[in-house]
């Protein structure tokens, strides 16, 4: 079993690779669990910190057709297409967003088609495919109406994968991700970056700016559950997906005020004092167009699950990612 992860040097890509290495197997094209012999991490920068003979690192342009055809071959059984330009950056740099989020998605599928062995392909999509006037809880039947370039690019990617699957070129599946929180590392250009920043920075004793109103609701999933969900969706037999290749991953619906309350429970009242409220109309417009909750009946029936609470998400960040020195500087409650 050979696996390719695009965006393999990224936050989710590296976590996914480590999960697969630990797991050791993945469902092959025939649905039978197979031993993972190689995982290729493709990204514009090199993935690091892997000391495992099963890891191959390839650095290059994700939208390079020749590179993709060299990476995805007849030996490739499974592809996780995670590479993307984040929402805020895609909105600011239209050409870059189209190249990475749309052109590269088509070229990944083309590489799979020309390889000719019908690999399983998982495409990560986003809450951003929804927008406009939305019900309190988005259903699987709710029409897509993205309000950003990023959302439009993701929606088109979903349809491309559906068509390549219909034609029998790939065994595709789409995992629509909620906003992932709490992400470690530095802030990025995603419109939702604050959803991690207002937790991560205060727990590290650093200042954070919240650009939206406290009543703003977000649909969230922890990194732990996101990775478990991606593997589970890739493992599903095509028959379990029925007529729709798209799965809205389960999450939890919380307001920003709820998030800050959870921060106080874990990090104490002093942690929240690091947050400054400074509303940004551009970010509010993008984030406000996303659903605050969606129906997870189908995802639950497929065996996927959400986090228990946002407090549990914060505690998972503390356990998995909070740096040691900063952790000592920021006393935590009941950890």
Active-site positions read: 150
Cβ atoms of 101 and 90 within 8 Å: the answer is: yes
Residue 259's nearest CA partner among 328, 204, 300, 202 is: 202
The DSSP bridge pattern shows strands 25-27 and 33-35 to be antiparallel
Residue 105 to residues 7, 93, 111, 300: CA-CA distances in angstroms? 12, 18, 10, 28
Cβ atoms of 235 and 175 within 8 Å: the answer is: no
Q: Which residues contact 29 (CB under 8 A, 6 or more apart)?
A: 77, 117, 118, 119, 120, 171
Distance from chain centroid for Cα 188 = 14
Q: Which residues contact 270 (CB under 8 A, 6 or more apart)?
A: none
Distance from chain centroid for Cα 27 = 21
Distance from chain centroid for Cα 293 = 16
Q: What angle do CA 315, 183, 298 make, to 5 degrees?
A: 80
């Amino acid at each position: 079993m050979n696996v390719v992860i695009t965006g393999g040097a990224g936050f989710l890509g590296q976590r996914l690779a480590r999960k697969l290495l630990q797991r050791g197997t993945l469902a092959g094209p025939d649905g039978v669990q197979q031993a993972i012999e190689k995982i290729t991490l493709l990204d514009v920068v090199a993935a690091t910190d892997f000391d495992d003979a099963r890891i191959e690192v390839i650095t290059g342009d994700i939208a390079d057709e020749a590179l993709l055809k060299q990476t995805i071959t007849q030996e490739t059984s499974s592809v996780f297409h995670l590479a993307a330009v984040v929402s805020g950056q895609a909105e600011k740099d239209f050409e870059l967003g189209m190249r990475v989020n749309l052109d590269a998605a088509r070229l990944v599928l083309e590489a799979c088609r020309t390889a000719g062995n019908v690999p399983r392909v998982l495409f990560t999509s986003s809450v951003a495919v929804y927008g406009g006037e939305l019900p309190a809880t988005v259903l699987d039947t709710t029409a897509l109406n993205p309000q950003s370039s990023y959302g439009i690019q993701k929606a088109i990617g979903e349809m491309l994968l559906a068509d390549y699957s219909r034609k029998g070129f790939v065994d595709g599946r789409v995992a629509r991700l909620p906003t992932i929180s709490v992400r470690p590392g530095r802030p990025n250009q995603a419109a939702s970056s604050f959803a991690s920043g207002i937790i991560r920075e205060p727990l590290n004793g650093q200042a954070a700016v919240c650009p939206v109103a406290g009543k703003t609701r977000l649909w969230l999933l922890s990194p732990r559950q996101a990775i478990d969900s991606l593997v589970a969706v890739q493992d599903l037999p095509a028959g379990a997906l029925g007529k729709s290749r798209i799965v809205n991953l389960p999450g939890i619906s919380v307001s920003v005020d709820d998030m800050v309350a959870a921060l106080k429970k874990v990090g104490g009242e002093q942690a929240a004092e690091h947050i400054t409220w400074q509303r940004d109309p551009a970010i509010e417009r993008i984030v406000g167009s996303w659903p605050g909750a969606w129906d997870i009946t189908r995802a639950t029936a497929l065996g996927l699950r959400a986090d228990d609470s946002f407090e549990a998400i914060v505690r998972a960040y503390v356990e998995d990612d909070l740096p040691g020195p900063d952790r000592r500087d920021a006393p935590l409650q009941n950890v």
